Structure 1
Amino acid sequence: MSEVEHHSATQESSAPSAGERLRAAREELDLSSIDVAKRLRLKHYIVEALEQDNYDVLGGAAFVTGYLRSYAKLVGIDGELLVRDYRPAVIEQELLPNIDYRRQRSLGNWPMRLGTLVVVGGLAGLLAYWWVQQGADGVNVFVAAQADGPASVARVEEPLQTLPDPRDVQVAPDLPADIAPAPSTPLAEPETDPAPLPVSRRLLLRYSDDSWTEVRDATDKQLVYGLIKAGREIEVEGEAPFEVFLGYGPGVSLAFDGVSFEHQSYTRRDSYVARFVVDDAQSGEIAVTQQP
């Protein structure tokens, strides 16, 4: 390794982490970690975990990103630099375990598939054996009938059906011409109103920054779940109302059935987390309400 490369690697290894920079900035302002927790309206252990780079106890990447930005804004440093330093850890800790889990899940299904194939194969074998036996019985009967002689043919005599004497048949008297059988009137089936079909609505999400996103429709169907990267645009369809959770509310803009609406009033100022419900109001306009 050259002397320049060794110097660059030494600088990278000695660069302070996000938690160290937050703690140093706090100490320069002569603030305690308890003071920071009170001003940000956070629990004290969250502030300590941020300064120790212990992100596993903070509940996911969306929350950590919001906490880092809020803390950095309080102590006067650039929160986006902290978020960029934190994102490589998110990719390694969240995306790779999901891939391993799916692989383990697919590998764990092979005993069930093998058992199903064995059962189906056994049933097919029994059906083939029964079919062969039925065919064999028919052949044996045919050969036994031919063994009596080359020209003998087995015949089965059936008794002839005797026809009744025409004198014993009674004919119904003819009805007068003015009396005719009443025509049969089909019964009218009661009309029932068809059940109304659910109306599918559209929700469009545009991302100017990374944000954890969860969206459910009125049937509690999960439409979006995961960390969405900046620059993406996602449109989902479902039955309204939609329950929306955004880990970083300012980084997402929304439109309901093609009509944009503001959700900033439902975004917390301390963590930038947003929870709300989107539906139609009685007047036909978009109704956005706070999710409990």
Structure 2
Amino acid sequence: MTSDPVGLQLKRAREQKGLSDSEVAQAQHLRPAVIQAIEAGEYGQVDSELFLKGYVRAYARQVGLDDNKIIADLDRELEPLRQKREQEVEANPLVDIERRRRRKRRLARVVLLLSVAALAGYLVFAFVLPESDMTAPAESTEAPVTEESPEVDSEQAVASEEPSTLASQVPAMPVVEEPEAPQPEAEIVEEPATDPVMDSAADDSVPVAPIETGSVAAPATESVIQAPSEPVAVTETGRLQISFRADCWVQVSDADGERLVNSLQRDGDRIDVSGDTPFRVVIGAVSAVDSIRFQNEPVDMGDFRVVNNRSEFTLAN
């Protein structure tokens, strides 16, 4: 069963209560033209759907209707208007600019993560790999020492066998001095035995050079670590304070579009919010605002445009 339009339901209930549209408008601090537009179903004259629902809910309560049922009926009537407004928002160039800003923020986060990963890879390459390279030469220098020792022994054995062989080949000359002749040759053969030892001692000092090289390269690595990888964006924070002397719908959004306030304020209420500026502020009933302070400084509402007792403006540092 299709119910009557919301405006007709409100008008019928108002007439049963014996109230005029001016009395309803005065109770809500609105102009009578706004109440007349609601009753006529001309919802486009109210800029914000949020404030329209607030006006209709307060109207329904004032004339004794179920405000939840009235709001449900209003949602069905607003669907075509809502689609039209979404199309207008998509065509707005400011929406495209905001999308680009968000895309740039996401790109900056990705670049920062990649920079951190690259820095971690550089630290592994600069500190972990040199330590493994320094241990490898130490093991390779010890191996030749053990391999050269058998060669030295074989040369000494050959040198010791040469005198006996010569002696056996000359039996007819019993000269005593001939066995002594190989002694200088044995000394000559034994001299290379000491050279590998000296070479191995020289080779043992080879690992020292990479250690010193690593200690010298450390300051250069520290300078790379201390270098900034990505500039950090600095945002400005603002503070907004509003006090009210009557019922008023208020909406406050920060620079990222996040809504800090989106509710109906009563007489004597006060909001105090902080966030990234600029702030986008929508006041549903300017006459209900007692005072506005931004960054602890008073704000003159006369500097902003007011239409149907409603004002929408931006506050920035």
> Structure 2 length as normaliser, TM-score?
0.40
Question: Greater helix share, 1 or 2?
Answer: 2
> Structure 1 length as normaliser, TM-score?
0.43
The structure with the largest alpha-carbon Rg is 2
